[in-house]
Structure 1
Amino acid sequence: MRLRRQVLLFAIGGLIGLVVDAGVVQALVSFGHWNPYLARVLSFVLAATATWLWNRRFTFGHRHSGRSLHAEWLHWVALMSVGAVVNYAAYAAILMLYPWLHRWPAVAVAASSAAASLVNFATARGVLFKSAKTSA
């Protein structure tokens, strides 16, 4: 599969993850009265799971990780955690700079996701799904 197509499919997966991430964090803050920093931890795990499901099927469906499903998911979440550090640092900085966004954390989620997406694609493609599937 061409790199351009992989990037496009990864971006679609990222949008899915963004919807899950922003939706969960906003719901937890608005309806569950969670702290926006703590809510982001749960929203990340759920978003990472959604992007893993998409990307293992579509973006990297022609590649394999050589791991069991559970091990692959754990590896995915660990790798996405690298991007999450970038994402969370930007998220926290945005919330500190704009305190009014504590009521609207989904805006901060969206703004912080762009930089992390580049890190996430590189680690997913170059580390987890680095080998092409072979015909049996």
Structure 2
Amino acid sequence: MASLPEAAATPAGTPPQGQSAHVRAEVVSFALIGVGGLFVDMGALWVAMHPLGLDKHSAGFFSYFVAATFTWVMNRQFTFKGVSRRGALKQWAKFLVANSVGGVVNLTTYNVIVWLDAPAFAVAILPWLPALWPYGAKGAGALAGMGFNFVLSKMLVFGRK
């Protein structure tokens, strides 16, 4: 009796072993590049406000475009290596749109958590919690936005054609 090929032995809907490891590597790369993008964003914000003299809101838009461009280039180069190098301008624009949607998810998550405030029972145990609550909310917002941005980037921006 002939044995079944390995792929046929895999239950339906289960990705092959190598594919899940590849996606994990992409998520880690995307996250690390996102951290780098945060530093680029802060540096560009400083440049926009000080040497360029822009107001906080205009400087925020400027730094967003600089950081988003940085993360697009890095993700194109490292995270999604096999993607076509053609249509770079269109791909960059799609990346900006996808990441702005993730930015809305980030800010919404942050604002909801800050609005809910630290639970009273937790404050009774950890009296310093309210001072750290906004920073935790920032972290939760960043994670929510990153997850959303990864999925949109992988499917819509860097999808293999």
Partner of 1:39: 59
Read off the aligned partner of 1:20 and give its amino acid letter. Answer: V
**Deviation at residue 3 of structure 1 after TM alignment:** 0.9
* 2:14 corresponds to: none
Distance 1:123 1:50 in 2: 17
The one-letter code sitting in structure 2 at the alignment partner of 1:55 is: N
What corresponds to 1:131 in structure 2? 160
Task: Give the counterpart letter for 1:58 in structure 2.
Answer: F
Give the direction of change, closer, same or farther, for the CA distance of 1:41–1:88 in structure 2 (3 Å limit): farther
Please name the residue that 1:119 is paired with.
Answer: 148
Instruction: Answer whether contact 1:64 1:130 (CA < 8 A) is retained.
Output: no
Counterpart of 2:158 in structure 1: which amino acid?
Answer: F
Superposition deviation, residue 38 in structure 1: 2.9
User: Where does residue 68 of structure 1 map in the other structure?
Assistant: 87
Structure 2: gaps (5+ residues): 1-18, 116-134
How much has 1:35 moved relative to structure 2? 3.5
Unaligned runs of 5+ in 1: 98-106
Match among 60, 63, 79 for residue 98 of structure 2: 79
The Cα offsets for residues 40-69 of structure 1, whole Å up to 9 and x where unpaired, read as 11111110000000000110012348x511
Residues 86 and 115, structure 1, Cα contact 8 Å, conserved in 2: yes
Aligned length: 118
CA–CA separation in structure 1 for the residues paired with 2:151 and 2:101? 11
TM-score w.r.t. structure 2 length? Answer: 0.60
Please tell me whether Structure 1 or Structure 2 has the larger radius of gyration of its CA atoms: 2
**Fraction of identical pairs, as percent:** 30
Cα distance in 1 between the residues matched to 2:35 and 2:146: 10
- Select the residue among 7, 23, 26 that pairs with 2:43: 23
Structure 1 length as normaliser, TM-score? 0.69
Task: Check whether the contact 2:102–2:146 (CA below 8 A) recurs between aligned residues.
Answer: yes
Quote the offset at 1:29 in angstroms: 4.0
RCO higher in structure (CA 8 A, sep ≥6):
1
